[in-house]
Structure formats: C-alpha cells, structure tokens
C-alpha cells in the first residue's frame, strides 16, 4: 500500500524549483498559479534567496505549488493518483497540497487559500516575536511536560523522537538553557513565528473567512489529518480541520501510526522531499521510502508506484 505525503514549511531551499522547469507543462502550471495569487512563484523558486523564501506569505504557496507540480509528474494521467495511492497526508501547510491531490479543492482554489493562509499567519506572527525549535532525542512525555512548564507549546509532535517547541523568543531562549532530560540538542528552525499555537489565533479567523465561499468535495482516497491522525471522509470536515489546524499542534506521529494500521509498504514524499521520509525511515521500519527532490527521482518513484500501488 502506497502513501503519498507533502512536506511543510522549512523544506524549501534556494533554487529548488529550477530543475523542475525543464519538464514540459511545469512552468505553465506554476505561471497560472502565480497569476491566481499575484506572486511570482517561478522567480521565488529559482532565484529567491533563503531570506525571501523564508517569508511565510511566500513559502507556503511556493511549497504547495511545488508539491502539486511534482506529484502530477508521477502519473501519465492525474486521474490515476486516487486509484494508485492508498492514502495521502501533508505536514502543516502540506495538508493543503494533500487536500488538492485528494480532490477536496481544485488546484487554483487551493493555491489561493494557501496564499491567504500564509498572509494571515505572517500577520499573526508579527504581533509578538515568536519562533520554533526542534528537540532532538529524549522521551516525548518528559519533553512535553518540560515544554509546558516553560510555557512553550509542543507544536509538532513528529514521531521518531522529534518534537518541535513553539513560543516567544524568551521562552525558546530558556529552553536552550534548560533542555528536557535526554534531549541531545535544541535546533532553532527557520520559520517566522510560533505556528500551530494560540499565537496563530488571529490567522484562524482570517482563514475561516477565506474558506467560507469554498465548496469542497469529498476526498477520492484516504485522507489522513494532522489533528489526530484520523482518516477524514468528507470534504467539509477536511476544510474545517485545515482552518483550525493553523492554531493547533501537528500530530505527525499519529499520522504515521495510521499509515502503519493501513498497511503501508511504501511512502513517497513530493517536492521538496526529504524531511518526512527521514521521519518515516525511523518510525516505519521496513517501509520503502522515496523523496522527490529533483526530476532525477521520478523514474525510481514510478517504479515504486508500480510495485506498491
């Protein structure tokens, strides 16, 4: 059984879209989505420096566009995707990529919604100076209790021994000085705010307003939600969860538990892949994994699809 996953913010790197533009159809799709959101995704994905593409309002539509474009390259006909992929999920903003690929929203509406999401989260992040740091190692229960003592939120519980803490810069500085027992290292992340915490409350309201006019379809394959790792069957509930998830923790650990229960045998991470396949290698032993980083990975990915679809 094949699972398709989409990465979240922080996966982008300068120039990561450059090789994909050599594939017929990719530039045209990116330009159409750029027009839809009034943002030059081609330029940001090829020429934007690290600071430019770190901007939440840019990074989020860029990641979703890259994920969609690369996923469609896996199949001769996009209609094959729901027939050959057993389950789909995305990490944080990657949930919107997954929703589009599952048929919940058309691509253009998805890109518009993610642009609104990025702008709203950037505005919320500007209210208070906040950030996120990854904890490497340690016992999850011990770490979560320690974070709560410092006033921090375990914003991403990623499994495979990784938790991401979020809060004010003062709280994160205190964490750096006072790590939970067993944690080897605290790594600051290149994000602009404390995503998936109460600091994003204002963004939820704006995103709900942007989503109000959308008419979602039901997922055409098993869609696994960050909220609790549960499969969600209706488009209405997917959209409600996408809005609320902005201010709630990402439970990627529970998503991977669901993949295991579904009988996953292979996992492909769409562009810019790497983060989620790394987690899967540690949490899902025996599952074949592949990260789409450049078009050079497409042949191996298609072989994996042929074996596990």
Q: What are the pLDDT tens digits along the chain (309 aa)? A: 999 999 999 899 999 999 999 999 999 999 999 999 999 999 999 999 999 999 999 999 999 999 999 999 999 998 999 999 999 999 999 999 999 999 999 999 999 999 999 999 999 999 999 999 999 988 989 999 999 999 999 999 998 778 999 999 999 999 999 999 999 999 998 788 999 999 999 999 999 999 998 999 999 999 999 999 999 999 999 999 999 999 999 999 999 999 999 999 999 999 999 999 999 999 999 999 999 999 999 999 999 999 998
Q: Strand, helix or coil at 257?
A: helix
Q: Using CA atoms, how far apart are residues 119 and 193, in angstroms rounded to an integer?
A: 12
Q: Any idea which residues carry the catalytic annotation?
A: 92, 196
Burial pattern 12-42, b for ≥16 Cβ within 10 A else e, equals bebebbeebeeeeebeebbeebbebbebbbb
Q: Do 136 and 161 contact (CB within 8 A), yes or no?
A: yes
Closest CA to 8 of 81, 67, 82: 67
Element (H, E) at 233: none
pLDDT at residue number 232:
98
As a whole number of Å, the end-to-end CA separation of the chain is 6
For residue 189, give the nearest of 166, 171, 159, 213 by alpha carbon.
166
pLDDT, residue 43, reads 98
> To 5 degrees, how large is the angle CA 138–CA 270–CA 51?
75
User: Nearest Cα to 188, choosing from 2, 27, 43, 10?
Assistant: 10
Residue spans of beta strands (DSSP E) within the chain: 2-6, 87-90, 130-137, 153-159, 162-168, 183-188, 222-224, 231-232, 266-269, 288-291
Q: How far apart (Å, rounded) are the C-alpha atoms in residues 156 and 151?
A: 15
Quote the CA–CA distance of 305 and 309 in Å, as a whole number: 5
Residue 249 φ/ψ, nearest 5 degrees: -60, 150
Tokens representing residue 158 in the block: 């990623």
CA distance 71 to 95: 14
**Cα–Cα nearest to 90, from 176, 282, 219:** 219
pLDDT given at position 222: 98
Where helices occur in 93-224 by DSSP H, the ranges are 94-101, 107-127, 140-149, 169-177, 201-211
Judge if pTM exceeds 0.75.
Answer: yes
d(CA 87, CA 77): 18
pLDDT at 189: 87
Residue 162: per-residue pLDDT = 86
């Amino acid at each position: 059984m094949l699972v398709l996953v989409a990465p979240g913010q922080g996966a982008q790197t300068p120039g990561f879209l450059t090789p994909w533009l050599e594939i017929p159809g990719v530039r045209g799709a990116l330009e159409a989505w750029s027009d839809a959101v009034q943002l030059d995704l081609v330029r940001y994905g090829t020429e934007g420096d690290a600071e430019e593409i770190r901007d939440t309002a840019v990074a989020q539509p860029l990641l979703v566009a890259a994920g969609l474009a690369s996923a469609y390259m896996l199949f001769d006909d996009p209609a094959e995707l729901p027939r050959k992929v057993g389950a789909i999920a995305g990490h944080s903003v990657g949930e919107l990529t997954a929703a589009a690929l599952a048929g919940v929203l058309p691509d253009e509406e998805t890109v518009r919604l993610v642009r609104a999401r990025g702008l709203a989260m950037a505005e919320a992040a500007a209210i208070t100076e906040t950030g996120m740091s990854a904890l490497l190692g340690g016992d999850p229960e011990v770490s979560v209790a320690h974070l709560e003592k410092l006033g921090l939120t375990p914003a991403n519980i990623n499994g495979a021994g990784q938790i991401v803490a979020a809060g004010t810069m003062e709280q994160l500085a205190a964490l750096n000085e006072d790590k939970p027992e067993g944690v080897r290292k605290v790594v600051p992340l290149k994000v602009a705010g404390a995503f998936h915490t109460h600091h994003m409350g204002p963004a939820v309201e704006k995103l709900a307003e942007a989503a109000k006019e959308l008419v979602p379809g039901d997922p055409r394959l098993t869609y696994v939600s960050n909220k609790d790792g549960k499969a969600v069957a209706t488009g209405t509930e997917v959209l409600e969860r996408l809005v609320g998830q902005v201010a709630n923790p990402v439970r990627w650990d529970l998503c991977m538990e669901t993949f295991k229960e579904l009988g996953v045998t292979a996992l492909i991470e769409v562009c810019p892949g790497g983060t989620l396949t790394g987690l899967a290698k540690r949490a899902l032993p025996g599952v074949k994994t592949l990260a789409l980083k450049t078009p050079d990975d497409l042949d191996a990915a298609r072989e994996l699809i042929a074996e596990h679809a």
